[in-house]
Amino acid sequence: MAQESHKLKGYKQDKKMINKKATEKILAIYWFAILIIIAGAVVTMVSLFYGTPYDVRDAEANIMINKVSNCLSENGKLAQELFIKNKNFNGNFSLKEKCNFVFETELKGDAGEYFLQTDFYNLNNTKIFSISDGNFNLYTDCKIEEDKYKRISKCVEREFYSLSPFSDGGIFKIKIISVVRKTEKNVK
C-alpha cells in the first residue's frame, strides 16, 4: 500500500512538472506575441509621427501679412501709392508687385498657392476699398466652417489701423486676409 501511494505521489509530481513546462511554453508564445504587438505599435506610431510633414502655412501666412502691412503703411500712415488724384484709392495698385511677392511655387502646374486680400474700412466700419491678388479660389475655402469640414488651405486674418497720408486726419481700418494652400507639402 505504501509503495503504491509513493508511486501515485511520484506520478502526480511528474504530471505537475509536465503541466508547468507546458504553461511556460504557452507563456513564452504569449510573450513573443506581446513583443511583436509592442514592436508593431512603436513602428506605427513613429512612422505616423515622423511621416506627417511640418505645417508651416500659418507662419507663412503671418509673415505675408506682416510684409503687406509694412508695404501699405509707413510710419503709421498709408502709402501715397495707394491713392490717385482727389484722394481716391488707386484701383491699379498691385499687392504682388508693390510688396515684392512671387507666387510661383515648386509645385508643377498649380493654379496658385497664395491669395491675399486687403480691405480698407472707415471708422464707421464701412468697406471703402479692397485689393486682392493671387488665386481667388482659395478665398472660398476660408468661408468653410472649420468645425464642420476640414479646410484645404490655411487662412489668417489680421487687422490694423493707419492714418491717411493726407492732412485730413482720416483714419482707416485695414483688414488683411492671407491664404496659403501648399497642402501637398504641409499635410499628409
Partner 1 sequence: MKKRGEILVENVIFIVLNIIFISLIIFFLFKQGSGAILFEQTYSKQIALMIDSAKPAMEIKLNMEKAHKITEENKLDFSEAVSITGNVVRVKLSQKGGYEYSFFNNVKVEAFPEKNEQNEYTGIYIFTINKNDKGK
Q: Which residues of this chain interact with partner 1, rule CB under 8 A?
A: 35, 38-39, 42-43, 46-47, 50, 53-54, 56, 59-60, 63-64, 66-67, 96-97, 100-107, 113-114, 185
Q: In the complex with partner 1, which residue's Cβ is closer, 134 or 165?
A: 134
Q: What cell numbers appear for 110 in the block?
A: 498649380
Q: In the complex with partner 1, which residue's Cβ is closer, 70 or 122?
A: 70
Supply the minimum distance, in Å, between the C-beta of residue 96 and partner 1.
7
Q: In the complex with partner 1, which residue's Cβ is closer, 70 or 80?
A: 70
Supply the minimum distance, in Å, between the C-beta of residue 83 and partner 1.
22
Supply the minimum distance, in Å, between the C-beta of residue 18 and partner 1.
14
Supply the minimum distance, in Å, between the C-beta of residue 15 and partner 1.
16
Query: Closest by alpha carbon to 151, among 108, 115, 104?
Result: 115
Supply the minimum distance, in Å, between the C-beta of residue 39 and partner 1.
7
Give, in order, the Cα–Cα distances in Å from 64 to each of 5, 67, 76, 118, 179. Answer: 93, 5, 18, 12, 9
Q: What cell numbers appear for 83 in the block?
A: 491713392
Starting at the earlier edge strand, list the strands of the sheet with 127-134: 73-74, 77-78, 154-163, 171-180, 114-121, 127-134
- Taken in order 150, 152, 158, 162, the sign of the CA dihedral is negative
Q: In the complex with partner 1, which residue's Cβ is closer, 36 or 128?
A: 36
Number of Cβ atoms within 10 Å of the Cβ of 137: 14
Q: In the complex with partner 1, which residue's Cβ is closer, 30 or 166?
A: 30
